[in-house]
Structures are given as C-alpha cells and as structure tokens.
Amino acid sequence: MKSKVKVAINGYGVIGKRAADAVSLQDDMELVGICDVIQDYRIRVAVERNYPIYAATDAHMDQMKAAWIPVEGVLADLLNQIDIIVDCTPKHIAALNREAYRQAEVKSIFQGGEKHELTGFSFVAQINYAQALDRDTARVVSCNTTALCRVLGALHQHDWIERARVVILRRGTDPWESHNTGMINTVIPEVRVPSHQGPDAKCVIPDLDITTMAAAGPFNLSHIHFAMVETKAPLTLDELRDALWDAPRIALVSAGNGVVALNSVIELMRDLGRPRNDMWEVAVWQEAMAVDEREIYLTYQVHNEAIVIPEIIDCIRAMTGLTPVAMESICKTDESLGIVREFLPATAQPVPHKFGPDVPHTTVEALEKARAEYESFSFKGAEEPSDA
C-alpha cells in the first residue's frame, strides 16, 4: 500500500477549515498542519481538533503565541514536511505564495479566487481529473464554476449543448462574516456581461458555448442558478433526468416534499446532521426541470461554502498520483464525506398508483393536496397571474 500523502492547508477560513476536516477523513492522506495569521475563535477550533498550527510569518507566530495559540512553527517549516499544500487564503494573497511553494518543491492547489493563469490548469473532478495527474500546481475552480461544470458537464458529455445561458444569484456574504459585510434590501447586478463564471467554466470545458449573468442578493445560505440550455436536438425529461442522475455530485430535491427554497434545502442538510449544514452536491429542483423542442430549463442550488471540498480532495489524489482513475477517487471521496445522489432514499419512491379513478385512497389524496400546497409557494407574486 502507498504511504499517505502529506497535506497542509494554508488559510483556515470558510474553505480551509472544511478542506482540513475533509483531508483528515481520508485514509490515504495525512493532515500535517494548518497555517493562518489569526488568533480568534476560528483558529482556536483547529486547536480543539488537535490540528498542528503554523503561522504565516515569525511576526504572526509571536502574535499567535502571545494569544495562547500553540504554534509549531512558520509556513516555511510546514513546507519542509509535506508533499502538497492547499492554499485557501483570500484571493490575491494566495498568488503571492506560489513562488514559495515552487522553491520548496511542494505541489500546490489554489482556489477559484485566483486567476486560471496562476497555475494554467483549472480542475473539476468529473471533467478533467486525468489532466491533473502528477501536475505540480492546479486551481480548483470557484463554487459557481464548479456547479456549472457539474451540471452542464453532465449534458455536454452527451454532446447535447448548442448554447447555454445561465443566470446566477449569488449569496451576499458568508454566514461567519455577515455582521461585517452583509447587504440588505438590494440586489447588486454584475455590470459585466458575461459575468466571469461563464468564461471560467470554459477553462475547464473549452468547447462549452456559455454565457452567464450574475447578481448578488441579501441572503447568505447558498447561490441559485437558472440555466436555459439550447440543445442540438429535442430531449425528453427522462433523458435529462438520467443524465443528471448518472453524473457525480448532483442530487434532485422536490418542492412537493416541502423543499421549496434555499432555506429548506439547508434545513434539510441540518436535519440530516451534516457538518456545518454542508451540501457538497448540487441540488436540482425536480419540478423546475423542463424541456421543449429547443431548450432545457434547470434551477439548482449551490452551497458555496461546501461544493468545492470534494473537488479539492480529488485534486490532491490526482496530483499526487494516489489513483489515476477519476471515478475511483470520486467514489472514495464521496463515501468518506457522505455525498449522496438521493437525500431521502427511504421515502424516495413515487406516489403509489391509484387503482382506477373511482377507488378512494385517502392517504394518496392527502399527500397530493399537501404537495400542491407546497408547490404553490413558487406562485406567490401578487402582481402576476397565477394558478393558485
């Protein structure tokens, strides 16, 4: 058996703390340490988890030690002990670390806040795992770009897409910093078209014809995408459903089950006991899937804090050659984190048949009534006509 790959995380924030936990769960990886510059509760949780702590510089180490954080050394000390580093520091800061990693001959993974050009390679496991094999450096794309590649990649691999257009509503801020940077009572459009996510997706799927438009709003649970995809030939709903089912890390949710909004999807993650309510999968609304003779229509939720975590784990595996087979890594990662295709498998069966129109079936009728009530949530606008 191969020895464990030695991994460090630089930047223990929204992505870094989740990446550290995910690395710790892998039986073929060892978390050698995490590095940061802070002294507050966030890094103290890492101490509680017994993660070895390192500071970015000597000055940060002095400050952290003065605040009773047990620090083992500085970044340079950490680099001496590892095979690969996952840089999760804020955008632009990460790029400054690239040279230090190169000089220490340590492989490096950067996040979506950095430009594609920093590493020359942008990663999404289900699309280009093989190209990451044994690379020295790579960038795991952003949350939105990961979702675009997963969902559109599932269609693109069948050569169905003529042209994709996606509207992205982004969360205003992350929950941990919403006291600081939360917006209220507004929606801020990106004033550049296409927004950067479309071109970014083409770094991963170069022949994807895609245009994105984006805006940020006063919510912090997730992003939501509305995709309109022109197809080369008409598709059926069943073909669309099958293609999404066959692709990794996509799960369907149903408004008919009361999962009617961003908050209900995250509440479902809470109820399922997920760490930090994380949803690593893209959640596609069953009822909002539609096809016509020219296009596919999809609405899906992207939990920005969590979606890239399995991609980071697969990227480590590819770059360090732990396995050359994408699906082997994807399945291993999914099993370790608890990633599923169906959130509620025990009750996922469709409503049972009635045996003829005259047969009373009170349970089914009650269920259908309840479903109709939930589905009516999406037709609330007072100024538009509605069926409800």
Ligand X SMILES: NC(=O)c1ccc[n+]([C@@H]2O[C@H](COP(=O)([O-])OP(=O)(O)OC[C@H]3O[C@@H](n4cnc5c(N)ncnc54)[C@H](O)[C@@H]3O)[C@@H](O)[C@H]2O)c1
DSSP result, 206-217: TT--EEEEEEEE
Which of 91, 31, 89 is closest to 60 using CA atoms? 89
Question: Is residue 13 a contact point for ligand X (CB under 6 A)?
Answer: yes
Residue type, 350: P
Count of residues that interact with ligand X, criterion CB under 6 A: 27
Query: Which residue stretch of 187-195, 263-271, 301-309, 362-370 sits at the interface with ligand X (rule: CB under 6 A)?
Result: 301-309
As a whole number of angstroms, the longest Cα–Cα distance in the chain is: 80
331 catalytic residue (yes or no) = no
Query: Which residue stretch of 89-97, 116-124, 288-296, 363-371 sits at the interface with ligand X (rule: CB under 6 A)?
Result: 89-97
Distance (Å, whole) CA 344 – CA 156: 28
Contact pick of 304, 320, 323, 329 for ligand X (by CB under 6 A):
304
Distance (Å, whole) CA 13 – CA 60: 16
Least distance (Å) from ligand X to the CB of residue 156?
A: 22
Residue nearest to ligand X (CB): 13
Question: Is residue 108 a contact point for ligand X (CB under 6 A)?
Answer: no
Mark residues 37-76: x for contact with ligand X by CB under 6 A, - for none.
xx-----------------x--------------------
Which CB atom, from 154 or from 308, has the smaller least distance to ligand X?
308
Contact pick of 35, 85, 251, 302 for ligand X (by CB under 6 A):
35
Contact pick of 74, 93, 95, 100 for ligand X (by CB under 6 A):
93
Question: Is residue 119 a contact point for ligand X (CB under 6 A)?
Answer: no
Distance (Å, whole) CA 12 – CA 38: 9
CB 138 within 8 Å of CB 121: yes
- 340 burial type by CB count under 10 A (0-12 exposed, 13-18 middle, 19+ buried): middle
Tokens of 71: 């620090």
Question: Is residue 11 a contact point for ligand X (CB under 6 A)?
Answer: yes
Asked whether the CA dihedral 280, 150, 136, 95 is positive or negative, the reply is negative
Question: Is residue 310 a contact point for ligand X (CB under 6 A)?
Answer: no
Query: Which residue stretch of 106-114, 179-187, 330-338, 378-386 sits at the interface with ligand X (rule: CB under 6 A)?
Result: 106-114
Cis, bond preceding 194 (omega within 30 deg of 0): yes
Contact pick of 305, 311, 314, 334 for ligand X (by CB under 6 A):
305
Which CB atom, from 295 or from 305, has the smaller least distance to ligand X?
305
Contact pick of 7, 15, 229, 262 for ligand X (by CB under 6 A):
15
Question: Is residue 300 a contact point for ligand X (CB under 6 A)?
Answer: no
Residue 84, classed as helix, strand or coil, is strand
Which CB atom, from 104 or from 228, has the smaller least distance to ligand X?
104
Question: Is residue 142 a contact point for ligand X (CB under 6 A)?
Answer: yes
Least distance (Å) from ligand X to the CB of residue 93?
A: 5
CB neighbours of 159 closer than 8 A, spacing ≥ 6?
Answer: 232
Provide the 10 A C-beta neighbour count for residue 36.
27
Mark residues 180-219: x for contact with ligand X by CB under 6 A, - for none.
----------------------------------------
Which among 143, 149, 203, 315 is annotated as catalytic? 143
Question: Is residue 153 a contact point for ligand X (CB under 6 A)?
Answer: no
Q: H-type helices in the chain, by residue range?
A: 14-24, 41-48, 58-66, 75-79, 93-103, 125-132, 143-156, 178-181, 197-204, 237-246, 262-271, 309-319, 326-337, 362-375
Among all residues, which ones are annotated catalytic? 143
Q: Which residues of this chain interact with ligand X, rule CB under 6 A?
A: 10-16, 35-38, 56, 88-91, 93, 111-114, 142-143, 174, 304-305, 308
